[in-house]
Amino acid sequence: MSNFVDSAQLHAKAGDGGAGCVSFRREAHVAKGGPDGGDGGKGGDVWLVADTNQASLLGFRDHPFRRASDGQHGTSKRQHGSRGKEILVTVPLGTMVFSQDGEMLVDLKGPGDRWLAAAGGLGGQGNARFLSNHRRAPAFAEQGEVGEEHWYNLELKLEADVALIGFPNVGKSTLIARVSAARPKIADYPFTTLVPNLGVVRVGQRNSRRGDATEFVMADIPGLIEGAAEGRGLGHDFLRHVERARVLCVLLDLSESAPCPPEEQLAVLLGELGDYQADLLERPRVVVGSKDDVAAYEIEGVMTISSLTGVGIEELVARLAQLVLEVRAEEAKNLDHEVVVHKPLPDEISVTRAAPNSWLVSGRPALRAVRFQDLTDDEALAEIVRRLRALGVDRLLARAGVLDGDVVTIGPLSFEWWRDEVGAGLDRGDHHRATRRERLARHGRLNLDDDE
Rounded CA separation 425/362 (Å): 21
Residue-level pLDDT at 18: 95
Q: How confident is the model at residue 222 (pLDDT cuts 50, 70, 90)?
A: confident
* pLDDT tens for each residue of 35-82: 999 999 999 999 999 988 887 788 898 899 999 999 999 999 999 999
Residue 421 has a CB neighbour count (10 Å cut-off) of: 7
Residue 376 has a CB neighbour count (10 Å cut-off) of: 12
Report angle CA 315, 317, 321 to the nearest 5 degrees: 120
H or E, element range at 274: helix 262-276
Domain over 162-319 is classified CATH 1.10.10.60 = no
Q: Which of 118, 141, 122 is nearest to 43 (CA)?
A: 122
List phi, psi (to 5°) of 445.
Answer: -110, 125
pTM of the prediction?
0.62
Mean pLDDT estimate for the chain: 81
Q: Provide the residue ranges of all domains of the chain, joining segments of one domain with +.
A: 7-157, 162-319, 350-446
Query: Is the pLDDT reported for residue 398 higher than 90?
Result: no
254 exposed, middle or buried (CB, 10 Å; 0-12, 13-18, 19+)?
buried
Residues 291/166, Cβ–Cβ less than 8 Å: no
The domain defined by 350-446 folds into GMP Synthetase; Chain A, domain 3 (3.30.300)
Q: Which of 238, 163, 182, 243 is nearest to 56 (CA)?
A: 182
Q: How confident is the model at residue 208 (pLDDT cuts 50, 70, 90)?
A: very low
Most confident of 18-32, 158-172, 246-260: 246-260
Q: Which CATH architecture has domain 7-157?
A: Distorted Sandwich (2.70)
Helices (H), 244-377: 262-276, 313-334, 364-369
Residues 452/382, Cβ–Cβ less than 8 Å: yes
Residues 91/57, Cβ–Cβ less than 8 Å: yes
Rounded CA separation 413/381 (Å): 10
Report angle CA 387, 389, 395 to the nearest 5 degrees: 145
Rounded CA separation 70/51 (Å): 26
438 exposed, middle or buried (CB, 10 Å; 0-12, 13-18, 19+)?
middle
Rounded CA separation 159/157 (Å): 7
Residue 407 pairs in a beta bridge with 358, 416
Query: Is the pLDDT reported for residue 88 higher than 90?
Result: yes
* pLDDT tens for each residue of 107-144: 888 888 999 999 999 999 999 999 988 888 898 999 99
Q: Which of 288, 285, 264, 270 is nearest to 175 (CA)?
A: 288
Of 152 and 425, the one with more pLDDT: 152
* pLDDT tens for each residue of 229-284: 344 444 445 566 677 689 999 999 999 988 889 999 999 888 888 888 888 899 99
Residues 186/162, Cβ–Cβ less than 8 Å: no
Residue-level pLDDT at 223: 58
Residues 166/253, Cβ–Cβ less than 8 Å: yes
* pLDDT tens for each residue of 362-394: 988 998 899 888 888 888 888 888 899 899 888
Label residues 15-34 b or e (16+ Cβ within 10 Å = b): bbbbbbbbbbeeeeeeeeee
Rounded CA separation 409/415 (Å): 7
Query: Is the pLDDT reported for residue 327 higher than 60?
Result: yes
Query: Is the pLDDT reported for residue 289 higher than 70?
Result: yes
Residue-level pLDDT at 1: 39
Q: Which of 365, 374, 5, 311 is nearest to 155 (CA)?
A: 5
Q: Which of 50, 43, 26 is nearest to 371 (CA)?
A: 43
Residue-level pLDDT at 182: 59
Rounded CA separation 66/121 (Å): 16
What is the percent of the chain with per-residue pLDDT over 70, rounded to a whole number?
79
